[in-house]
Amino acid sequence: MSILINKDTKVIVQGITGRDGAFHTSKMKAYGTNIVGGISPGKAGQQVEGIPVFNTVEDAVKATGANASVIFVPAPFAGDAILEASYAGIDLVVCITEHVPVQDMIRVMPVLKKNNTKLVGANCPGLITPGECLIGILPGMIFKPGNIGLISRSGTLTYEVVNMLTENDLGQTTCVGIGGDSVSGLYFIDLLEMYENDPKTDAVVVIGEIGGDAEEQAAKFIKEKMTKPVVAFIAGQSAPPGKRMGHAGAIISSGSGTAEEKIKAFNAAGVPVAKEPSEIPGLIKEKLGL
């Protein structure tokens, strides 16, 4: 099994006729993702990679039965694109767009909750269930079907760690890049609960980073609710206070959100924290008795 997406997921691409939308549509389709339509206002009737283009998400859902959407529209319009998908009944929205204004995300979140819409992102690489469905910009060739779940705030670290897992014959159920913005959709606890309930996931890798307290909350959830082994890595261990490190949410403020605090919380929950990403496969094997 997997979480969130599988071979039956019907995907539409919002912004399919743009440069990034068209490019990544071709990559997702080549991987085997079931892309059933695209959205580009005023361009209904056109095709991209043989995929029909619609004016609105509502039109696409009615014509195709789509239940997932991936967003490649410019940042000023991404919030409205998320809302359009939610109001059209899309179950899962994946927003790749970065630099989405915080106030737009604050406006979007209550609507998603009301409509029971799941959001991954914004400013994320997307997610993949290896061998079945890829939604986003992940390099599909490094993933391998297996029994390890992965959640990451960092896109590039996702690729690095997954490549190491695959090289060590540790395949994955579903890997989710949640992004590094300060206001985001599904986060550690949401996904940890899904992995805990997925019979095919035997262990989980959590890749966190400095800033906020999401990792501390995740550690508390793992200690109280999870039966499956979890291994972690925290990026930004040498970051100075008050300096943002890459992601909008990766900033240590007023002495909180440090790597040291996050590592301490995970260790207290029985979660081993790798000093370097290269240690993760060994820690997973140790946890699984391999």
> Residues annotated in the binding site for CoA, as ranges?
17-20, 43, 96-98
Please choose, from the candidates 250, 3, 5, the residue with its C-alpha nearest in 3D space to the C-alpha of residue 136. 5
- How far is the C-alpha of 17 from the C-alpha of 286, rounded, in Å? 47
Q: Catalytic residue among 24, 153, 247, 262, which?
A: 247
Binding site for substrate, residues?
A: 159
- How far is the C-alpha of 246 from the C-alpha of 98, rounded, in Å? 12
- How far is the C-alpha of 72 from the C-alpha of 240, rounded, in Å? 33
Using alpha carbons, list the distances in angstroms from residue 6 to 32, 67, 84, 142, 273.
11, 12, 23, 18, 30
24 part of the active site: no
Whether residue 122 has a cis bond before it, omega within 30° of 0: yes
Please choose, from the candidates 152, 127, 39, 137, the residue with its C-alpha nearest in 3D space to the C-alpha of residue 85. 39
- Per DSSP, 213 falls in state S
What percent helix, strand, coil does the chain show, rounded to 5? 35, 25, 40
Return the active site residues: 247
